[in-house]
């Protein structure tokens, strides 16, 4: 039962976090004996690494080596290094399928179980560069032929002699993986310039934001997701995250019994961090430090490898803003980067027909498979004649195409819009007016206010059951009367698409929070902002169940909120509705009940700005 549960969590947490890499073993005869697969050989190995800040903690890594037939000292091949999503291991379905996809294209693939997972020793370190990054770097040494491995079946030591090199000790190698297997790529690449390309899929920019987001008061510039004010804990995702890691430690206790000593299967400072998130409802400085040292946002300047970011539209764990923040940071510093907003993610793990099919005969049989292969062929194989692809592309679920199995792999390209650049600019503006209206012109704004009563710790709004919605759970979104305010537009005269993050400027009157906010996060107002698409019959749609939690540092000043990035077509006859709610069942909330009023006026209007592909017409 534990294995089945872990597999389910792995699928939810890192659906695409898999790609493998094969190498040769101790000798031709051993390699031939291991070759029971057509077109490639597979060998199960161990790699002994030394990790930790001082590089003195031994951790044995369990890995699988995939080698294309015909590869050898005189016929060397480029390589892929990959690991899995959280809760998975080297042998989960996504890992093996992606490994087969690349080895069939002539890549040596090394697929491994991360620290604390599967057959690998040591505890989960959240993709900390000092631990997971150092382990990955030593696996690159294996591909370079500089570090031996141990054959699991025979106990003999061998070295990889089949990987193409740019120079001695420098293999041609790229990394691919999803979720937890996405972030580790940064942890390796920031300290190992031998990495030639990255494809991080549905992963985070700042783990402090991922687990406790605050969609206002961003530090530095508004291009990132890190906030100066502690965020609002995602209670359900936090519990799933830690539950999956503990379960994995129990399942594989025989691999390394020390994994379950102290904080079970996590570094000892992680358990207190989980307790803080669940009890306080926000991260203290210690929690933020733990999360950020394991986040690319903390060391982005050290990433120079060409990076193809792939993020999911259906993802309430690692949302589109996280990839956008990484994209902008990499582009600003001159790192080659492109970004794809695919249809699926942690909150809906089934790709659209033709989008990605790891069970297909070739990576070339799907849109994303072709993008992955082209990125690696160009940057790892070194074939600069292969196009890098568009700088930004995104799936549009309203575009129809031939979804039959035979045609979908090519036809799905019609549903992907491709752009030469990514811009998060807002092109349409609506103003909050009176107590419940959204109006097109600033001159039409009427002074007014709308109030709700915060009910304290008990949640009064529902957006999702994190990780389970749409599968085991399918509950409609809701907001209890009196615990939210809503401002609604007139019906649209023609359709228009939203692509990116809307932004909302709010003016608030919250007297209780105004008195208590100086005491810190526990006394600061928490609210939740969301954008509904309201059909002519009144049915509301919350796109991909995405909302923006906000902890307001100062309620006496205008509050600037970034709403979730979405790709959504608003149809003619539908209305836009912006809602400010007191709570949400998936998140922590306010500690005390208090009244909150949203105000607007011609002199100081509350404003909604939208990133649109066309013009708003009513």
Encode pLDDT of 307-327 as tens digits.
999 999 999 999 999 999 999
Per-residue confidence band for 221, with pLDDT thresholds at 50, 70 and 90: low
**pLDDT (average), residues 581-592:** 94
Domain that holds residue 559: 428-610
Whether residue 290 lies inside any domain: the answer is yes
C-beta neighbour count of 99 within 10 angstroms = 30
Q: Are residues 440 and 415 in the same domain?
A: no
Assess whether pLDDT exceeds 90 at residue 14.
Answer: no
Per-residue confidence band for 253, with pLDDT thresholds at 50, 70 and 90: confident
Give me the pLDDT at residue 38, please: 86
Per-residue confidence band for 185, with pLDDT thresholds at 50, 70 and 90: very high
Q: Are residues 454 and 542 in the same domain?
A: yes
Q: How many domains does the chain have?
A: 2
Give me the pLDDT at residue 16, please: 31
Give me the pLDDT at residue 312, please: 98
Whether residue 616 lies inside any domain: the answer is no
Q: Are residues 124 and 67 in the same domain?
A: yes
Give me the pLDDT at residue 217, please: 86
Give me the pLDDT at residue 223, please: 66
Q: Tell me the pLDDT tens digit for each residue of 71-88.
A: 999 999 999 999 999 999
Q: Which of 128-137, 425-434, 467-476, 482-491 has the lowest mean pLDDT?
A: 467-476
SS3 for 454-508 is: ECCCCCCEECCCCCCECCCECCCCEECCCCEEEEECCCCCCCEEEEECCEEEEEE
Q: Are residues 404 and 435 in the same domain?
A: no
Give me the pLDDT at residue 220, please: 59
Q: Are residues 407 and 462 in the same domain?
A: no
Per-residue confidence band for 24, with pLDDT thresholds at 50, 70 and 90: very low
Per-residue confidence band for 469, with pLDDT thresholds at 50, 70 and 90: confident
**pLDDT (average), residues 576-582:** 98
Give me the pLDDT at residue 192, please: 98
**pLDDT (average), residues 555-559:** 97
| Sign of the CA dihedral running 35, 41, 45, 48 | positive
Whether residue 617 lies inside any domain: the answer is no
Assess whether pLDDT exceeds 60 at residue 378.
Answer: yes
**pLDDT (average), residues 98-117:** 96
Domain boundary among 388, 419, 450: 419
Q: Are residues 455 and 322 in the same domain?
A: no
Q: What is the pTM of this model?
A: 0.93
Question: Is 457 or 511 the better-scoring residue by pLDDT?
Answer: 511
Looking at residue 577, which CATH number applies to its domain?
2.60.120.260
Looking at residue 106, which CATH number applies to its domain?
3.40.50.1820
Whether residue 343 lies inside any domain: the answer is yes
**Alpha carbon of 550 to those of 37, 213, 227, 456, 584: distances in Å?**
52, 7, 10, 15, 11
Give me the pLDDT at residue 222, please: 53
The CA-based dihedral angle spanning residues 597, 602, 606, 611, taken in that order and rounded to the nearest 10 degrees? 160
Per-residue confidence band for 12, with pLDDT thresholds at 50, 70 and 90: very low
Residue 508: beta bridge partners? Answer: 598
């Amino acid at each position: 039962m534990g294995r089945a549960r872990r597999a389910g969590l792995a699928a939810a947490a890192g659906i695409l976090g898999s790609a493998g890499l094969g190498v040769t073993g101790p000798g031709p005869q051993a390699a031939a004996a291991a070759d029971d697969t057509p077109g490639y050989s597979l060998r199960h190995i161990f790699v002994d690494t030394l990790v930790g800040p001082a590089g003195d903690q031994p951790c044995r890594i369990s890995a699988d080596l995939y080698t294309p037939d015909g590869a050898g000292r005189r016929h060397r091949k480029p390589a892929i290094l990959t690991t899995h999503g959280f809760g998975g291991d080297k042998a989960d379905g996504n890992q093996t399928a992606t490994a087969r996809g690349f080895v069939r294209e002539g890549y040596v693939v090394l697929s491994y179980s991360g620290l604390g997972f599967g057959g690998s020793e040591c505890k989960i370190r959240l993709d900390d560069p000092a631990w997971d990054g150092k382990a990955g770097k030593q696996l690159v040494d294996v591909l370079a032929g500089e570090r031996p491995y141990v054959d699991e079946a025979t106990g003999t030591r061998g070295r990889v002699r089949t990987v193409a090199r740019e120079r001695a000790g420098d293999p041609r190698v790229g990394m691919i993986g999803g979720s937890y297997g996405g972030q580790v790529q940064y942890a390796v690449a920031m300290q190992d310039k031998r990495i030639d390309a990255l494809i991080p899929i549905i992963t985070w920019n700042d783990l402090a934001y991922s687990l406790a987001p605050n969609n206002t008061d961003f530090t530095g510039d508004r291009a990132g997701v890190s906030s100066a004010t502690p965020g609002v804990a995602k209670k359900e995702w936090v519990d799933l995250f830690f539950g999956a890691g503990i379960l994995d430690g129990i399942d594989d206790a025989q691999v390394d019994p020390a994994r379950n000593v102290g904080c079970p299967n996590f570094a000892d400072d992680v358990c207190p961090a989980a307790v803080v998130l669940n009890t306080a409802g926000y991260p203290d400085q210690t929690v933020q430090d733990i999360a950020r040292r394991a986040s690319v946002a903390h060391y982005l300047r050290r990433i120079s490898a060409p990076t193809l970011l792939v993020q999911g539209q259906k993802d309430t764990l690692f949302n589109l803003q996280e990839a956008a923040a990484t994209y902008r940071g990499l582009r600003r510093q001159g790192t080659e980067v492109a970004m794809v907003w695919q249809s699926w993610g942690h909150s809906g793990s089934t790709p659209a027909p033709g989008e990605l099919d790891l069970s297909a005969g070739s990576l070339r049989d799907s849109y994303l498979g072709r993008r992955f292969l082209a990125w690696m062929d160009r940057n790892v194989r070194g074939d600069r004649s292969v196009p890098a692809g568009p700088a930004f592309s995104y799936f549009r679920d309203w575009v129809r195409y031939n979804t039959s199995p035979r045609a979908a792999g090519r036809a799905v390209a019609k549903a992907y819009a491709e752009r030469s650049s990514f811009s998060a600019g807002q092109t349409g503006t609506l103003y909050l007016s009176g107590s419940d209206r959204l109006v097109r012109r600033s001159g039409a704004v009427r002074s007014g206010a709308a109030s709700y009563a915060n009910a304290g710790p008990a949640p009064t709004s529902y957006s999702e059951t994190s990780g389970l919605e749409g599968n085991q759970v399918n509950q409609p979104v809701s907001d209890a009367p009196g615990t939210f305010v809503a401002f609604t537009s007139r019906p649209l005269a023609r359709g228009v698409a939203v692509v990116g993050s809307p932004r909302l400027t709010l003016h608030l009157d919250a007297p209780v929070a105004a008195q208590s906010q100086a005491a810190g996060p526990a006394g600061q107002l928490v609210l939740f902002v969301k954008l509904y698409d309201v059909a002519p019959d009144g049915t509301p749609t919350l796109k991909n169940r995405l909302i923006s939690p906000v902890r307001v540092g100062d309620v006496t000043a205008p509050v600037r909120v970034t709403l979730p990035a979405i790709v959504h077509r608003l149809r003619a006859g539908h209305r836009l509705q912006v809602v400010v709610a007191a709570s949400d069942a998936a998140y922590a909330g306010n500690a005390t009940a208090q009244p909150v009023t949203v105000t607007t006026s011609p002199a100081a209007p509350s404003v909604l700005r939208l990133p649109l592909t066309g013009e708003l017409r009513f």
